[in-house]
Amino acid sequence: MRVAMYYNNRDVRLEEMPEPVIGPGEILVRVMASGICGSDVLEWYRIKKAPIVLGHEITGEVASVAPGVTKFKPGDRVFVSHHVPCNTCWYCLHGNHTVCETLHTTNFQPGGFSEYLRVPAINVDRGTFLLPDELSYEDGAFIEPLACAIRGQRMAGFQPGQTMLILGSGISGLLHLLLGRAMGAGRIITTDTQDFRLDMARELGADAVVNARDDVPARIRALNGNRPADLVIVCTGALPAFQQALASVDRAGTVLCFATTDPGVELSIPLNDFWRNGIRVLPSYANSPYDAEVAIQLLRTGKIPVGKMITHRLGLAETGHGFQLMAQPGSSMKIIIEPQR
């Protein structure tokens, strides 16, 4: 079968690999759509495992099932989670599925940028979901990133009516925007340095957009009745965005670090001010099976119109071009790879 093998952001090659062989409890999935995630082009994170077949935002069709599989049959349309928790450890039992050791060690094989993938039994059991009839393969490729946004806002304790500031209007930022709008945010303001992204944020329902090079804390107060934001979501790894977040959050507010910086970067927090003003700073990584279920239902009902974010649909042989587009943002947003083309 054909795969797109990642060596670095500028070197993704179309190669041949044997079709995976499935064992008891496993399924073989014919990949129909696979989104390129911002983390796929996070080179410092990915290159240490190269060469590797990436791609984790996938939907497809069950091609075959092994003995022991009763939940799925050939022809079923499915979304498959690449990482799944054990659901029984200390962390899972206390609602912290994304720090579960099992979640950090599970995956499907070889990756979503391939014609077929093998889904291990544990992923079949707790990470594979039937796609509703209303959901296309390409819209279903948003289930995983939307589920991550759902978990982030859930952990942050977002409430309807709150003012939300989103720093970074890439894919994650726009998903937080669409989710916040669907969940009843009072006012949503987004930032970025790219006019293309700011225009798309405005089109998708942002109440205001701000160039990240401006005095963001001052602009937020001017746009929000002289009050900072209740929830600030950092969706870019640029250190100035984290600094802007600390200066843009209101008393009793929350800073959600949805993105991460390069390794070794430190952030200075005014602890005394934050202690006195009851401000929280927390991270959010990945998602749980619960969040995936919520994402599927929100997409099924059309409350999150993700199709407007898709700017490119490419065949498997064009995956390298897709990586270059993602690594140098300008006129692209969501890039969907269609491995059967």
Residue 329: predicted pLDDT: 78
Which residue is it, tokens 């491995």? Answer: 339
Quick: pLDDT tens for 42-56: 999 999 999 999 999
Q: Is the pLDDT of residue 195 over 90?
A: yes
What average pLDDT does the chain have? Answer: 97
Q: Which amino acid is at 308?
A: K
Quick: pLDDT tens for 108-153: 999 999 999 999 999 999 999 999 999 999 999 999 999 999 999 9
Residue 328: predicted pLDDT: 86
Residue 281: predicted pLDDT: 98
Q: Which structural domains are found in the chain, ordered by start?
A: 2-142+304-338 (3.90.180.10), 149-283 (3.40.50.720)
Taking a C-beta distance cutoff of 8 angstroms, is the pair 122, 23 a contact?
Answer: no
Q: Is the pLDDT of residue 79 over 90?
A: yes
CA dihedral sign, ordered 104, 110, 112, 116: negative
Token readout for 318 is 């064009």
Contacts of 332 by beta carbon, 8 Å cutoff, 6+ apart: 311, 312, 325, 326
**How far apart are alpha carbons 243 and 120 in whole angstroms?**
42
pLDDT-derived band of residue 32, with 50, 70 and 90 as boundaries? very high
Q: Is the pLDDT of residue 220 over 90?
A: yes
Taking a C-beta distance cutoff of 8 angstroms, is the pair 225, 329 a contact?
Answer: no
3-state secondary structure of 258: coil
**How far apart are alpha carbons 158 and 11 in whole angstroms?**
40
Q: How many residues does the chain have?
A: 341
Share of the chain above pLDDT 90, in %: 99
Helices 289-300 and 143-156: angle between axes, nearest 10 degrees: 110
Residue 330: predicted pLDDT: 82
Q: Is the pLDDT of residue 290 over 90?
A: yes
